[in-house]
Amino acid sequence: MPRATWICERVYDNHSHWLTAHLPKLCLLQDRGALGQVLLPERLTKTMETSLRLLGLDPAQFQTFKPGEILNIQELTIVGSDRFRSELLRPVREKLAPPRGQVASKRVYISRSKAPRRRLLNEDQIWPLFAKAGFERYHMEDLDFAAQVQLMSKTQVLAAPHGAGLTNMIFCPPNSHVLEIAWLGFPNPNFYALACAMGLNYSLVGADGNGKSSTLLERDMIVDPEKVRSALEGIELFLANSNAAAE
């Protein structure tokens, strides 16, 4: 190839990495009119393909590569980025989930009960607390990407165990609230950093790791219902104070 632009990182077909590391680069290049030479993998996931179309881009118009093949490129432009830099992340929300005048009011709980790992084993025990607080329960794998974006654009409070579904907070309106349930034996501040970058409020409920998976990140969790109750009460108080201040 005479020229090409490389945006792919080590992991590009993972939902979270695509949204935070790759879409921001595409938005940046789109704004600069520099998409013409971008190289994309030959096979795209449904999320990758749909997100491109939501940006008004035709996947068929991109140059492609096969994973593992050697490319000979005379002039290569490499685009790097900070995955949690607000100036790069917020244009993704502006382009895919622009504000439409509606007030976000939904409370969404993302379940990982269908996931092979990092499940919340006592979800049925704590779900009544969320239900009482007005949450609706969703499995992201049951929704296509466009539906996920639409749902998040209407979400005021998003709660979930640590997992890729939480990355969808990118599409929540500014000042929405995120509640993450995570095992602190494997501390991972990604979603805190992402919430800060997107102008969202963030709460963390520490859970206990369960099981002996060789990979710490994959361990299932159990969370104390009282910790969840306290966190939900804190969010209610925060929202009430915010509404009072606005009035």
Which tens digit of pLDDT belongs to each residue from 55-94?
999 999 999 999 889 999 999 999 988 889 999 999 999 9
Higher pLDDT residue, 2 or 244? 2
| Distance separating alpha carbons of residues 113 and 162, to the nearest angstrom | 12
Q: How confident is the model at residue 210 (pLDDT cuts 50, 70, 90)?
A: confident
Q: Which amino acid type is present at position 227?
A: K
What would the mean pLDDT of 222-241 be, rounded to a whole number?
95
Model-wide pTM > 0.85: yes
Kindly report, residue by residue over 166-175, the tens digit of the pLDDT: 999 999 999 9
Instruction: Copy the structure tokens of residue 150.
Output: 């639409």
Residue 245: per-residue pLDDT: 73
| Distance separating alpha carbons of residues 91 and 224, to the nearest angstrom | 37
Rg (CA), the chain: 19
Residue whose C-alpha is closest to residue 200's, from 163, 168, 226: 168
What would the mean pLDDT of 152-162 be, rounded to a whole number?
97
| Distance separating alpha carbons of residues 207 and 182, to the nearest angstrom | 5
136-138 and 155-161 strand pairing = unpaired
Contact 110, 138 (CB under 8 A): yes
What would the mean pLDDT of 11-39 be, rounded to a whole number?
95
Please enumerate in sequence order all residues whose Cβ is within 8 A of that of 164, keeping only pairs 6 or more positions apart, or say none: 14, 15, 16, 140
